[in-house]
Structure 1
Amino acid sequence: MKRYIKKVLGFGFIMMAILASINSASKSKSEVLPAVGSGTTGSGTNSPSEIDTTFFKGADISWLPQMEATGFKFYDENGKAADCLDILKDNGINAIRLRVFVHPSDDKISGHCSTAETLALAKRCLAKGFKIMIDFHYSDSWADPSHQNKPAVWQNDDLTTLLQDVYDYTYHVLDTLKSQGVTPTWVQVGNEITGGMLWPTGSTDNWPALSKLLNKGYAATKAVDPSIKVIVHIDQGNNNSRSRWFYDSAKANNVNYDIIGLSYYPFWLNQDYTENVNDLNNNLNDMVSRYNKPVMVVEVGGADMAVQNTYDMLKAVIKTTAAVPGNRGLGVFYWEPEGARSWSEYKLSCWQSDGKPTKALSAFK
């Protein structure tokens, strides 16, 4: 989930300035951290033999229930009314990512995604044959590099209490899903946590606290089902110095996780993908060799009005990720391809106001 205020209200230049300041700080920190060679972090190790060689082409579609509830109709490329999930599947999507908020509002854009709502959509997706990823924001609404607000009910909790909050909440959501026949393939402990999560307690200004919070999410996930793979996710997947700074710090603080998750949005960097897709390629390969972890692009998106360019960008990102040696580039997930601008005001979907997908979605075929 990219930052919604940025996406919808268009404060692109303001947000780029914020991200630039974070990036500048990241670079300065990386300069004083020792180099880290190939190896594992904590107990969440994946040897090449443990990795499913299926390449996952995914989509975060957490808006879908509200789109349907408010009357948005979906049609295939031939104009025939269809279930959005069937359209996605026909275009090559084989995995679905769903965000979950702690106590969300009823706002159609920035709310919903409660445990019950996530369970209902996850069951529906599983019935269609999709693999499931659950993305914990640990907030009542959007979490991203500029917003990592504690849920209101956790607002005054100290670190000790927050650690229990994270464990209990993570366990409850996943146990609820599993008890209803939905065991996710992947779980994200936090969303775009480049600056940490559950601010200010879990900020990257306090890595010892952040590492404990992340490890509680990991432990709760594995307690529900050890087979679930845990992802730790940051933004700007083309930015190697930023990535090294974060995952070096995670290693130094013994953070447990299984997969490195990255976002890649050239649009929000005010660049064309041709300017930085090679940087993405280099970073994906560096992450695998440096930390001995598989990688996944868990968010990607391109401008809805630049259909051919977005199609070409997706093809390049899929090719780049799939080419990571040893089948360790696990997949690429589009963030809200179905979230048509006419409904969401979001500029980076793969859907038109007439309810049909654009050509860009077919890049996943």
Structure 2
Amino acid sequence: MKISKALLTVAYVVLFVSCGNKNEFPDIDPGKEEKNFAKGADIGWITEMESNNVKFYNSAGVQMDGIALLKSLGMNSIRLRVWVNPTNGWNSKEDVLVKAKRAAALGMKVMINFHYSDSWADPGQQNKPAAWVSLSFDQLKSAVNAHTKDVLDLLKKNNIAVGWVQVGNETGNGMLWNEGKADQNMSNYAQLTNAGYDAVKAIYSNAKVIVHIHNGWDNNLFRWIFDGLKSNGAKWDVVGMSLYPSKDNWSQMTEQCISNIRDMISRYNKEVMICEVGLSWDEEAAAEAWLKDLFSKSQAISNNKVLGVFYWEPLAHNNWKGYTLGAFNNAGRPTKALNAFK
């Protein structure tokens, strides 16, 4: 055993030295490093909030940097959305880099979430970027590939170790409508997914590619999408889910979600990531109970097949942009909901 450890040490040193350029580091594979559960947050709004003088405080009322505060509350990962050409610059690749650098400096892992839009992409809208509107389908696939590579290459050149990448956001009916609308052309949706998948692997070969669907409790939706992707030759590493219950139905919805997770693992032999969760900030007792239950049941699934849980924009407070499912109160302090991350 001592000889084996020595040889491994030497091999690591040789690999480290051989990298030469500091940008050419080995990719981090979060599935192999420590096998720890990702406890994360989507923080896409943070730079915009800071520009509007929004402050964040710990439970004692001490002002803190928002990302550092989340880490102090037990989080080890962040999720960042990317828009192609946003009108105000927020969530552009440059803005994403600023946030990714801050998280990386704190030793936190990074998930990148491509919306493939100039603004929000979700179950109700999957609008093509303005610059892509007149493209042919083949050109659209090339644009997806080039945009994905461009953003990830910028991050890699700045030494950001990206562990997971979403190719689309809540694509329960495909993306880049109408060409990639799943109920109209599942084959096109699969081809666009592969354009993103191949781009990710070209830059971060060990990053895990996520296909992310809303309503994590809805097994019929997940089977329809992933059966369709599979039958059309799509590639993905991780099934991504969102889960947004209420204080009254969280127990039932969690049971349905866990059942769906088990089916996804069995049916497709894939890992699962719960990419988004949230519950009203002023129902903190219910949120704490729900999240502790979700963490417990997710981590109890064998072979570490559930990779983690990300809270969507927990830092949002004081009705920021009308969003009320954060996990900070109107004084800018964390609610009990985040106790689950400790």
CA contact (8 A) 1:340 1:352 kept: yes
1:59 to 41, 51, 69: 41
Q: Is the 8 A contact 2:282 2:329 kept in 1?
A: no
Q: Are 2:223 and 1:241 aligned? A: no
2:237 aligned residue = 258
Q: How does 1:153-302 map to 2 (within 5 A)?
A: 153-204=131-182, 205-267=184-246, 272-302=249-279
User: What is the CA distance between 1:271 and its match in structure 2?
Assistant: 5.3
Give the corresponding residue for 1:102.
84
Q: Which residue in 2 is equivalent to 1:326? A: 303
Q: Does 1:82 align with 2:64?
A: yes
Mapped to 2, the partners of 1:258 and 1:224 lie a distance apart of: 16
Equivalent residue, structure 2, for 1:24: none
Amino acid at match of 1:166: V
Structure 1 unaligned residues grouped into runs of 5+: 1-48
Alpha-carbon distance between aligned partners in 1 of 2:333 and 2:173, rounded to the nearest angstrom: 37
1:353 aligned to which of 330, 334, 337 = 330
Distance 1:335 1:311 in 2: 15
- Does the 8 Å contact 1:51/1:327 carry over to 2? no
Deviation at 1:51, TM superposition (A): 8.0
Tell me, in whole angstroms, the C-alpha distance in 1 between the residues paired with 2:81 and 2:61.
29
Correspondences of 1:140-155 after superposition (within 5 Å): 140-155=118-133
Counterparts of 1:278 and 1:342, CA distance in 2: 30
Residue 135, structure 1, aligned to residue 113, structure 2:
yes
Deviates more, 1:205-214 or 1:166-175: 205-214
Is contact 1:193-1:233 (8 Å) kept?
yes
Partner Cα separation in structure 1 for residue 253 and residue 336 of structure 2: 23
Residue 341 of structure 1: CA displacement? 3.5
Amino acid of the structure 2 residue aligned with 1:338: L
Aligned to 1:314: 291
Alignment correspondent of 2:312: 335
Quote the sequence identity (%). Answer: 43
Deviates more, 1:63-72 or 1:353-362: 353-362
> Structure 1 residues 201, 312: CA separation in 2 closer, same or farther (over 3 Å shift)?
same
Q: Distance in 1 between matches of 2:68 and 2:97?
A: 19
Distance 2:204 2:258 in 1: 32
Q: How many Å separate the matches in 2 of 1:52 and 1:70? A: 38
In the alignment, the residues of structure 1 paired with residue 338 and residue 131 of structure 2 have an alpha-carbon distance, to the nearest angstrom, of 39
1:200 shift after superposition: 0.2
> 1:229·1:259 contact (CA, 8 Å) conserved in 2?
yes
Which position in structure 2 is the counterpart of 1:344?
A: 321
Instruction: State TM-score, norm by structure 1.
Output: 0.83
| Secondary structure of the corresponding residue to residue 338 of structure 2 | helix
Matching residue's letter, 1:243? F
Q: CA deviation at 1:104?
A: 0.5
- Report if aligned partners of 1:304, 1:350 keep a CA contact under 8 Å in 2: yes
Partner of 1:91: 73
- C-alpha deviation, 1:287, in angstroms: 0.6
SS of 2:185's partner is helix
Q: 2:54 aligns with which of 69, 72, 79?
A: 72
Aligned mate of 2:100, from 122, 132, 135: 122
Give the letter aligned to residue 125 of structure 1.
A
Q: Distance in 2 between matches of 1:51 and 1:145?
A: 33
Q: Which moved more, 1:58-67 or 1:343-352?
A: 343-352
C-alpha displacement of 1:81: 1.2
What CA RMSD, in Å, does the superposition of the two structures yield over aligned residues?
1.5
CA offsets 1:217-263 (integer angstroms, 9 cap, x no match): 00011001211110000011111111111111111111111111000
CA contact (8 A) 1:284 1:324 kept: no
Q: Do the aligned partners of residues 95 and 226 (structure 1) sit closer, same or farther apart at CA in structure 2, a change above 3 Å counting?
A: same
User: CA-to-partner distance for each residue in 1:158-177, whole Å, 9 max, x for gaps?
Assistant: 10110110010000000011
Q: Given that residues 296 and 321 in structure 1 are in contact (C-alpha distance below 8 angstroms), is that contact kept between their aligned partners in structure 2?
A: no
Change in 2 beyond 3 A, CA 1:79/1:361: same
Counterpart secondary structure, 1:144: coil
Task: Flag structure 2 segments of 5+ consecutive residues without an equivalent.
Answer: 1-30
How many residues align? The count is 312
C-alpha contact 1:302 1:313 (8 A) present in aligned 2: no
